[in-house]
Structures are given as C-alpha cells and as structure tokens.
C-alpha cells in the first residue's frame, strides 16, 4: 500500500501496523524534531452508509484522549482531516504490546505483574477522573515501552461523559475481556475497565485466561461461571489474591471495586502478601522479561528487626520508627546500589536515611511514614523517577522532592516538574558539599512545613488576582484570554519592562511567559520574581530543546509548569487553573511558599538591568499578598 509523503506538516517514514480502524503510520515532526505515530482512516475504504459512524468514532477517540495527559496513556498531539482521510497524530512508543509479549511466551513473576497492573490502574484511574471510559482494555491495547512503562492505547471505542455517541444496546469490546454489562448491551462506566483489568491480572498471574472458548461460551462464563481460583493455578499466590481477583471480576457491578485506586491498593497488598508467602516457601521467582525483581528496602537501624513493610524476619511484629529521635528523614531511590551506598554514607550521621532500588516499595513506605526529603534518580527499570515523584507528591505533599540524574532528557525533565513538582535538579556526578547544602535547605523547609495542614482551595466563579501573559506575538495571550477571561483578569506584556509595570498596577497570581534561549532580561525577571515574590506562580511556554535552560529555570526560578509548543489548548487551560488554585492556597496558608525558596540569582544587583528589576520587585512585597 502506498502512503502520502506528507500529512499536514508531518513527514511519513513508513508503516507501523494496522489499527482497529485503519493504518498506523510512522511520522516525523520536523518543527520539533520528534517521531510520531499517525493513526489514519482512508475515507474511500468505507461504505457511504457507514462512513459517518466511523468518522464520528475516530473523532471521538481524538476528543477522548486529547484531554488526557498522563505518563501511562499514549498522548495525542494533533488531529487532521481532509477529503481523503482523517489522522490522529500521537506519541510514538518504542516498544511492543503486552499481547505480543504474551504470544512470545514471556512470563512475569508476581512482582512484575504487580508493576504492570498498578501502572495500568494508575493510568485508567486518571482517565476515569477526566470522564473517559476506555471500554476495550485488553493486552493488545497496552504498550510496554523500552523502559518498562505501560502505555494505554487505542481509545477507539472510548466513552466521554458528555458524549451520546454510543447508545444503550451497543455491544463493544473484545469478548475475553468484556464485562457482563457489555454482553448485555446496557449502560457501562469505569467499572467495565476495572473488570477487564482484573481479567488481565488473572491471565498474567496464572498463564491462563479466566474465560475461554468461542463467543457464546465466553459470554456464558462471564455471566454465570466463577473462574478457578488463581492460587490453584499458581501456588505462589496467597489466598488474598483470590479475593482481590474475585471482587475485580464480580458479576454485579455493585460487588466490584468502585475506583481504580481502591483496586490498586488491594492488589498491592495481595502482591505483598504473596511475595512474603513465596519467600517463606523458598520459591525463587523465574526471571521476568520486563522488569527486574525488586530488592527489599535497605534502611537505617530505626527499622531494627524488620523489613521495610513490617514483615518481621522471624516473627510477626509491626514495623515502627523511633519517633523520639528528632532527625529528619531522607528517602533515596536509585537503581544503582553503589550510589545508594555513597549517599547513605554521606548523610547517615545527620539524618535517618532510607534507601531502595524499587520505586513501588518507596511509595508503600511513604504511605506509612512521613519522609521529609525524597531524592530520586530519573531512569530506573522498575519505576521511572517521573512516576515516583508524581505519586509521592500525591501521597506526601509536604515532602520536598529532589531529582538526581545523570541524563538531560528534556521530556523527562519537563515531566518531573509538571507531574512531580521537584524542588531542585542535581546532576550526576554531584559535588558532595553542594549536595549537602541543598539537602540541608530542603530539610529545613520540610521540617517547617511538616505540621502545616493540607488545604485545598477551590476556584471561585470570579477572582481578582489575574494572569499576566508575556508573549511577543500575542498568540498565547489571545488563547489565554479566550480560555479564562471569565474567571480572572488576563493582562498582556510584550516584554519584561511592560511586565514590571503591570506587576506594579495589578495583583498577579500567575505569569505565563513564552521563553526561548537568549532572552536574558525575561529569564532574569523570572528568577528575581521568585526570589522576591515567591507566591506568584510561573508557567513557561517554550519550543527550545535546551535542557540546561529548563533546569536553570527550575532551580533558580521554581517554575510551576513547563508547556511545550505547539500548545494543547486543553492542557494550557488546566495548568493555568491549577496555578490559580495554588496561588489561592498560598494566600490562605502563606507558610507553604517556603517550598518555593530560591537562592538569589547570580546577577549584578548593584547596577544594570538586574538591579532595576530587583528594585521594582522589592516594592511589590506584601502589596497584594500580605507580608511574607
């Protein structure tokens, strides 16, 4: 089959395969030099009477996934439609489907299945939170990229809460993974996705599908027959896992887990219990094809006699920390044990230090014990640093997070700040003295904020503090005004000088700045602004591939979010709203701005541009926000 040399701005470099509706092409975006996957529909290949429905379904996929930005979901970048066809431009995942791995005979040990299913539940839980139900979760729609991350793909029959495209009576899905309500053709919701994930978990843990045969047989089993308990097929599984899978695949929706988080928490616990049972049976796990077998959390002597999760070495005694010792607690996660040993040695005299190579064990530990500072590597086989920091922010929002990395992958850096809200980036190899100073600062902030109550301030219908857009060509300003002018004022500045004038005239909550390499005045303004007025949130928009510039802005300007060009309108709106909400939270609890502390930038404060900017910003202290 021949393909066009170009679709829109995208160069076509071949074919990746076929999808549920058409061909998936390999493309190249020359504007930002990245590969993309392009799902296409050829209008001529569909009958006239069915084309409208096919196109509606295709547009719905773009609509459904275009609103989802999550590391566990294949991201959509663009949608194009012309006389010949329609095209969804999306993230190119370097990896294979879970179905491919299963067909190749790859088997996963208990811990690896835990990684797969919890990642899957995290991604689908996020989608459900955005009002999107996938409705066709199956191994062929789950991609595993080369670093071990699960990516949910093909939302081709997804349902959006606001959509009426799919009517009662439609039966959509793949039989072996379909829920009872799908076979009955009644209204379905997120519990259908959770049912399918339960089926996949059973299949991965036992090597067998719970429901087998032709469609009629599968339908009968799904509606009326309980699968063989998983522990009978895999003796390394604890009975707790049978209970979890039985609830996940319950015939009645009311009997199932009602949220992905509820399912995930129960599944994690069943995995933990099964791993302990396996250890007690001295059953060494087979080598896995995807993820490394995790190692138990190494800790300081405050965990005497137990492992990291309270499983006693020889007796069932609970894990406890000596809370009478007032040292701060550091949790360090890195897949290189030499680095863990070096960092433990560096900090053990001053802090309680807890180290692990396994991100999931780190998160479980965080759920039980407060950590003041979290230091994480970026690229790890079991869980990427981006994902660890994102989840740790949800579990322990008062912890101060530091990324320690030997890589300058811009996409990962952006993900870390957007999802994990890191306090600082430290490059490997590090300078011991500089790292000690940084950790001491982070600990000071964390100890001060440890007892600050968590507050969630909702957005009002109308607010006085506004958004200041610094944008040379006004494109971002016009989009922002269109998106949020009903919520708050939106001001425009073409340059730094105009921005300073507006900062003196109006209460500004968020600055949205178009930043490129070489804009020294604007970069100086953003750094000094955070030093003098830390409550103002900064979102930068950039197409620059300069990771050093981005790290500089994170470390010295504490930017709130980083958005890449071309901009997603939905993402822009959601991030501005998140920043406005955070500003109101800071206004209610000013102590929280301590987490935004930055050192004074290396600027000439006595003369020149830096001094004039600084003098102006000092006049703003406390004017709108209150004295800090």
Q: What is the 3-state secondary structure (H, E, C) of 463-478?
A: CCCEEEEECCCCHHHH
> By the 8 A CB rule, do 467 and 512 touch?
yes
Using one digit for the tens of pLDDT, what is the confidence trace for 442-471?
887 788 776 666 566 788 989 999 999 998
pLDDT band per the 50, 70, 90 thresholds, residue 596: low
Q: What is the pTM of this model?
A: 0.49
Tell me, letter by letter, the H, E, C secondary structure of 112-163. HHHHHHHHHHHHHHHHHHCCEECCCCCHHHEEEECCCCEEECCCCCCEECCC
CA distance 488 to 481: 9
pLDDT value at position 311? 26
CA distance 89 to 62: 9
Using one digit for the tens of pLDDT, what is the confidence trace for 550-594?
777 777 777 888 887 777 788 889 889 988 988 888 887 777 666
The H-assigned helical ranges of 5-91 are 48-66
CA distance 353 to 258: 37
CA distance 41 to 44: 9
CA distance 230 to 205: 7
Using one digit for the tens of pLDDT, what is the confidence trace for 353-394?
999 988 888 898 888 888 899 998 877 767 777 788 888 888
pLDDT value at position 456? 66
Positive or negative torsion for Cα 39, 43, 45, 47: positive
561: helix, strand or coil: strand
Q: Which of 59-68, 194-203, 305-314 has the lowest mean pLDDT?
A: 305-314
Top-confidence residue, 142 or 434: 142
Count of other CB atoms within 10 angstroms of residue 325: 9
> By the 8 A CB rule, do 38 and 90 touch?
yes
Question: At how many degrees (to 10) do helices 190-206 and 260-280 cross?
Answer: 10
Positive or negative torsion for Cα 464, 468, 473, 476: negative
- Fold category of 6-91 in CATH: Phosphorylase Kinase; domain 1 (3.30.200)
Neighbouring residues of 44: CB distance < 8 A, sequence distance ≥ 6: 84
Using one digit for the tens of pLDDT, what is the confidence trace for 500-544?
889 888 999 999 998 876 678 888 888 888 777 788 889 988 876
Top mean pLDDT of 308-312, 547-551, 606-610 is at: 547-551
Top-confidence residue, 114 or 545: 114
* Cis peptide upstream of residue 320 (ω within 30 degrees of 0): no
CA distance 353 to 332: 7
387: helix, strand or coil: helix
Q: Is the confidence at residue 246, as pLDDT, over 70?
A: yes
Count of other CB atoms within 10 angstroms of residue 103: 12
Positive or negative torsion for Cα 407, 408, 409, 415: positive
Q: How far is CA 451 from CA 372, 390, 445, in A?
A: 11, 21, 11
Q: Is the confidence at residue 310, as pLDDT, over 60?
A: no
DSSP type of residue 352: E
The dihedral over CA atoms of 516, 557, 539, 535, expressed in degrees to the nearest 10, equals -150
25: helix, strand or coil: strand
Q: How far is CA 58 from CA 23, 97, 140, 265, 394, in A?
A: 13, 21, 18, 34, 34
The DSSP code sequence of 285-340 is PPPPSSSPPP-PPEE-GGGTTB-TTS-BSSS-------TTS---EEEEE-S-HHHH
pLDDT band per the 50, 70, 90 thresholds, residue 407: low
403: helix, strand or coil: strand
Tokens of 449: 């904020």
Domain ranges for the chain, please list them. 6-91, 95-280, 298-449, 466-618
364: helix, strand or coil: helix
CA distance 241 to 42: 46
- Fold category of 298-449 in CATH: Rossmann fold (3.40.50)
Active centre residues (catalytic): 136
Neighbouring residues of 426: CB distance < 8 A, sequence distance ≥ 6: 402, 403, 404, 405, 434, 435, 438
Count of other CB atoms within 10 angstroms of residue 145: 16
Using one digit for the tens of pLDDT, what is the confidence trace for 50-83?
777 778 777 777 777 777 878 888 888 888 888 7
pLDDT value at position 487? 93
Count of other CB atoms within 10 angstroms of residue 606: 8
Size of the chain, expressed as the number of residues it contains:
628
Percentage of the chain beyond pLDDT 70 is 78
Neighbouring residues of 15: CB distance < 8 A, sequence distance ≥ 6: 1, 3, 23, 24, 25, 26
CATH architecture, domain defined by 466-618: 3-Layer(aba) Sandwich (3.40)
CA distance 143 to 128: 19
Using one digit for the tens of pLDDT, what is the confidence trace for 314-358?
232 333 333 433 578 899 998 888 889 889 988 988 888 999 988
CA distance 145 to 97: 9
- Parallel, antiparallel or unpaired: strands 373-377 and 329-333: parallel
Asked if 6-91 and 95-280 have one fold, the answer is: no
pLDDT band per the 50, 70, 90 thresholds, residue 622: low
pLDDT value at position 618? 61
**For residues 202-212, average pLDDT:** 94
> By the 8 A CB rule, do 357 and 337 touch?
yes
Name beta bridge partners: 514: 541
Name beta bridge partners: 95: 145
CA distance 410 to 362: 25
Percentage of the chain beyond pLDDT 90 is 21
- Parallel, antiparallel or unpaired: strands 95-97 and 142-145: antiparallel
pLDDT band per the 50, 70, 90 thresholds, residue 93: confident
- CATH number of this structure's domain 95-280, picked from the four choices 3.40.50.450, 1.10.510.10, 1.20.1050.10, 3.30.930.10: 1.10.510.10
């Amino acid at each position: 089959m021949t393909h066009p040399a170009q679709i829109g701005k995208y160069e076509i470099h071949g074919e990746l395969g076929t999808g549920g509706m058409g061909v998936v092409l390999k493309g190249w975006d020359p504007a930002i030099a990245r590969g993309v996957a392009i799902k296409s529909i050829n209008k001529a290949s569909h009958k006239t009477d069915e084309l409208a429905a096919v196109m509606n379904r295709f547009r719905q996929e773009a609509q459904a996934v275009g609103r989802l930005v999550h590391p566990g979901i294949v991201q959509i970048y663009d949608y194009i439609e012309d006389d010949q066809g329609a095209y969804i431009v999306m993230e190119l995942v370097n990896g294979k489907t879970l179905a491919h791995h299963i067909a190749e005979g790859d088997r996963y040990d208990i811990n690896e299945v835990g990684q797969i299913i919890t990642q899957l539940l995290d991604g689908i839980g996020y989608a459900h939170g955005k009002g999107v139900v996938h409705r066709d979760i199956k191994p062929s729609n789950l991609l595993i990229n080369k670093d071990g991350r699960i990516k949910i793909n093909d939302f081709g029959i997804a349902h959006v809460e606001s959509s009426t495209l799919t009517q009662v009576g439609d039966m959509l899905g793949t039989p072996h993974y379909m829920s009872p309500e799908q076979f009955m053709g009644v209204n379905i919701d997120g519990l259908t996705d959770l049912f399918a994930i339960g089926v996949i978990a059973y299949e991965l843990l036992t090597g067998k599908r719970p429901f087998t045969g032709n469609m009629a047989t599968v339908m009968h089993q799904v509606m009326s027959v309980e699968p063989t308990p998983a522990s009978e097929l895999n003796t390394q599984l604890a009975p707790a896992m049978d209970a979890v899978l039985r609830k996940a695949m319950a015939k009645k929706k009311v009997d199932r887990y009602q949220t992905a988080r509820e399912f995930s928490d129960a599944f994690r616990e069943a995995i933990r219990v099964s791993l302990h049972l396996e250890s007690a049976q001295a059953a060494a796990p087979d080598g896995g094809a995807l993820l490394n077998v995790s190692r138990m959390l190494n800790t300081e002597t405050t965990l005497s006699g137990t492992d990291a999760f309270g499983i006693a070495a020889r007796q069932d005694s609970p894990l406890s920390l000596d809370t009478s010792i007032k040292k701060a607690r550091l949790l360090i996660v890195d897949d290189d044990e030499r680095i863990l040993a070096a960092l433990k040695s560096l900090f053990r005299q001053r802090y309680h230090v807890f180290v692990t190579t396994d991100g999931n064990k780190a998160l479980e530990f965080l759920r039980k014990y407060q950590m003041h500072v979290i230091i994480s590597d970026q690229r790890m086989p079991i869980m990427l640093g981006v994902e660890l920091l994102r989840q740790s922010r949800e579990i322990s929002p008062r912890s101060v997070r530091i990324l320690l990395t030997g890589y300058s992958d811009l996409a990962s850096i952006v993900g870390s700040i957007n999802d994990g809200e890191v306090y600082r980036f430290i490059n490997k190899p590090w300078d011991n003295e500089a790292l000690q100073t940084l950790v001491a600062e982070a600990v000071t902030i964390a100890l001060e904020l440890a007892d600050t109550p968590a507050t969630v301030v909702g957005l009002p219908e109308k607010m006085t503090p506004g958004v200041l857009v610094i944008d040379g060509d006004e494109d971002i300003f016009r989009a922002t005004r269109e998106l949020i002018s009903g919520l708050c004022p939106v001001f425009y500045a073409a340059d730094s000088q105009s921005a300073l004038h507006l900062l003196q005239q109006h209460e500004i909550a968020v600055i949205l700045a178009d930043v490129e390499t070489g804009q020294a005045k604007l970069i100086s303004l953003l750094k000094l602004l955070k030093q003098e007025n830390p409550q103002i949130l900064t979102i930068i928009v950039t197409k620059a591939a300069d990771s050093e510039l981005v790290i500089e802005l994170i470390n010295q300007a504490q930017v709130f979010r980083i958005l890449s060009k071309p901009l997603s309108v939905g993402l822009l709106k959601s991030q501005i709203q998140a920043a406005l909400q955070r500003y109101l939270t800071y206004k209610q609890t000013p102590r929280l701005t301590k987490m935004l502390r930055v050192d004074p930038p290396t600027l000439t404060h006595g003369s020149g541009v830096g001094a004039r900017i600084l003098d102006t910003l000092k006049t703003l202290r406390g004017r709108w926000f209150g004295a800090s």
